Amino acid sequence: MNTDKKVAFYTLGCKLNFSETSTIARNFVNEGFKRVDFDTKADVYVINTCSVTDNADKRFKSIVKNALKKNENAFLIAVGCYAQLKPEELANVDGVDLVLGATEKFNVTSYINDLTKNNVGEVHSCEISDADFYVGSYSIGDRTRAFLKVQDGCDYKCTYCTIPLARGISRSDTLSNVIENAKEISSKGIKEIVLTGVNIGDYGKGEFGNKKHEHTFLELVKELDQVDGIHRLRISSIEPNLLKDETIDFVSKSNSFVPHFHIPLQSGSDELLKKMKRRYLKNTYTNRVNKIKEVMPNACIGVDVIVGFPGETDDLFLETYNYLNDLDISYLHVFTYSERPNTEAVNMDGVVPKKVRAKRSKMLRGLSAKKRRAFYEKQIGNTLTVLFENENKEGYIHGFTENYVKVKTPWNPDLANTLHTIKLTEIDDDGLVRCSFENVKEYI
């Protein structure tokens, strides 16, 4: 047991990574380590990496340097997607002692015989074809919301994406285990659970180690909706071709699921969607948005979009821009295309200059701000429920409504991690919505 040793964690990337970091952290605690904040001195620093964008790769070195400033003798471990894709590259970063791939990261404590720093990082990395088993994860204690992993890996072949190379085939947690994890989270007093995975709409595939679907995503949603004590369930990113009308209808009437969807689009051009090898065209996406708004008029809809994909001409970009401008959505997550090794797109013609990519990204981020403000303005006067966070930010406490409107009210520590009925009153200069309490004594 390492009763006097401290460990700190830094997570890059997605909600799935956060859920896995939390699980890895519990393994350390079970071995006697004390978990501390990353910006404090620790004996071990664990960095959970991402490789979706170039920027995530570049951030790794600066994070390593910051850790070593706190303790130059600290034992530094890299796990996650970048660690699977480029283990030797990470191992050669000054100060890195251990790099663990996709199948090894959950057994990290068994790879630490002692905490003596290595001259060169030690690598334990599998062939991605070996990543064919499932490890359940969820986050507890890191924030007011919990991220519950229900699925991992992806069988899609999108031409820009390295995730299948980093995480392996699509596979799912068992339905019974997901429900048990949800009950465990609920028992800790956490008010909201966010379902996460690489391709959660594919839930059920590989549930018992085989390719067929034992359960569907809709069955998962229905079972979770019956778990006592969960106030909110939120669906994270889900592919438009896998978000079925039946699921949308169920969410609109459910006990716990909130009216918020995040649906990747990537391009508003059918020509580019085909080059990307996405499994839908623009018409399918439009139908998804219209269906949601038909049964949940105040639903929040977030969109992922890529700019600068090879072959994206000015006309094709404007097709995407105009499509999104006309669509009843709430905000955008804009990704600037970056060349990723071992993907089809890296060899495609029609490379878009980086300055053009940056300009288009700026245009879409401006559109996102416009869309978010318009969505917020439509909510003014509505009575909703907010889950408050636990941070004091310049004298205010922030929170999110069920339909993902970010609100603010003067700091009150008693509000942290509580649900309140509020009325949205006005949009502040910073773009957040002020709220008033319908009933100041109403804690749910």
DSSP, residue by residue, 248-317: HHHHHH-SSB-SEEEEEEE-S-HHHHHHHT-S--HHHHHHHHHHHHHH-TT-EEEEEEEES-TT--HHHH
124-133, 216-225, 244-253: which range is least confident on average? 124-133
Residue 210 lies in a domain: yes
Residue 97 lies in a domain: yes
For residues 267 and 220, state if they share a domain: no
What is the rounded CA–CA span in Å between residue 383 and residue 263?
A: 26
Question: What percent of the chain has a predicted confidence (pLDDT) above 70?
Answer: 95
The per-residue pLDDT for range 27-48, each reduced to its tens digit, is 999 999 999 999 999 999 999 9
For the chain, how many structural domains are there in total? 4
What is the rounded CA–CA span in Å between residue 336 and residue 324?
A: 16
- Give residue 141's pLDDT: 66
Mean pLDDT, the chain, integer: 91
Residue 196 lies in a domain: yes
287 forms beta bridges with none
197's tokens: 């995975």
Kindly give, in sequence order, each residue whose CB lies less than 8 Å from that of residue 45, ignoring residues fewer than 6 positions away.
7, 8, 9, 10, 38, 67, 74, 75, 76, 77
Domain boundary among 242, 258, 274: 258
Average pLDDT on 315-336 reads: 98
What is the rounded CA–CA span in Å between residue 124 and residue 78?
A: 11
For residues 238 and 301, state if they share a domain: no
Which has the closest alpha carbon to 148: 23, 241, 46, 257? 23
For residues 245 and 140, state if they share a domain: yes
Question: What percent of the chain has a predicted confidence (pLDDT) above 90?
Answer: 71
pLDDT higher than 60, residue 1: no
Residue 443 lies in a domain: no
Whole domain around residue 17: which residue ranges? Answer: 6-126
- Give residue 3's pLDDT: 63
For residues 17 and 74, state if they share a domain: yes
Tell me, what CATH number does 234's domain have? 3.30.750.210
What is the rounded CA–CA span in Å between residue 274 and residue 284?
A: 13
**Reported confidence tier of residue 358, pLDDT bands at 50, 70, 90:** very high
Average pLDDT on 326-333 reads: 98
Average pLDDT on 79-89 reads: 89
For residues 188 and 269, state if they share a domain: no
68-82, 119-133, 168-182, 201-215: which range is least confident on average? 119-133
**Reported confidence tier of residue 113, pLDDT bands at 50, 70, 90:** confident
For residues 146 and 72, state if they share a domain: no
Q: Are strands 419-427 and 383-388 parallel, antiparallel or unpaired?
A: antiparallel
Q: Where are the alpha helices (DSSP H) in 71-198?
A: 81-85, 87-91, 163-167, 175-187
Beta strands in 27-161 (DSSP E): 34-36, 44-49, 75-80, 98-100, 122-124, 145-149, 151-152
For residues 115 and 146, state if they share a domain: no
**Reported confidence tier of residue 443, pLDDT bands at 50, 70, 90:** very low
Strand (E) or helix (H) holding 407:
strand 406-410
Q: How many CB atoms lie within 10 A of CB 214?
A: 15
Tell me, what CATH number does 66's domain have? 3.40.50.12160
Residue 45 near residue 77, CB atoms below 8 Å = yes
For residues 401 and 356, state if they share a domain: no
- Give residue 119's pLDDT: 80
Residue 426 lies in a domain: yes
Residue 245 lies in a domain: yes
**Reported confidence tier of residue 71, pLDDT bands at 50, 70, 90:** very high
Q: Which residue has the tokens 């199948």?
A: 103
For residues 374 and 404, state if they share a domain: no
Domain boundary among 126, 142, 163: 126
C-alpha distance from residue 24 to each of 9, 135, 229, 267 (Å): 9, 11, 26, 35
Tell me, what CATH number does 356's domain have? 3.30.750.200
Strand (E) or helix (H) holding 28:
helix 15-30
Average pLDDT on 206-220 reads: 84
36 forms beta bridges with 8
419 forms beta bridges with 387
pLDDT higher than 70, residue 272: yes
What is the rounded CA–CA span in Å between residue 283 and residue 313?
A: 21
Residue 1 lies in a domain: no
- Give residue 368's pLDDT: 98
**Reported confidence tier of residue 115, pLDDT bands at 50, 70, 90:** confident
Which has the closest alpha carbon to 154: 187, 126, 131? 131
What is the rounded CA–CA span in Å between residue 209 and residue 174?
A: 10
- Give residue 435's pLDDT: 85
For residues 336 and 286, state if they share a domain: yes
pTM confidence score: 0.90
Average pLDDT on 148-163 reads: 94
Residue 444 lies in a domain: no
For residues 100 and 212, state if they share a domain: no
Q: Which residue has the tokens 């085909």?
A: 274
Domain boundary among 258, 286, 309: 258
120-134, 148-162, 268-282, 393-407: which range is least confident on average? 120-134
For residues 111 and 171, state if they share a domain: no
What is the rounded CA–CA span in Å between residue 203 and residue 206?
A: 8
Average pLDDT on 42-62 reads: 82
Q: Are strands 98-100 and 75-80 parallel, antiparallel or unpaired?
A: parallel
pLDDT higher than 80, residue 128: no
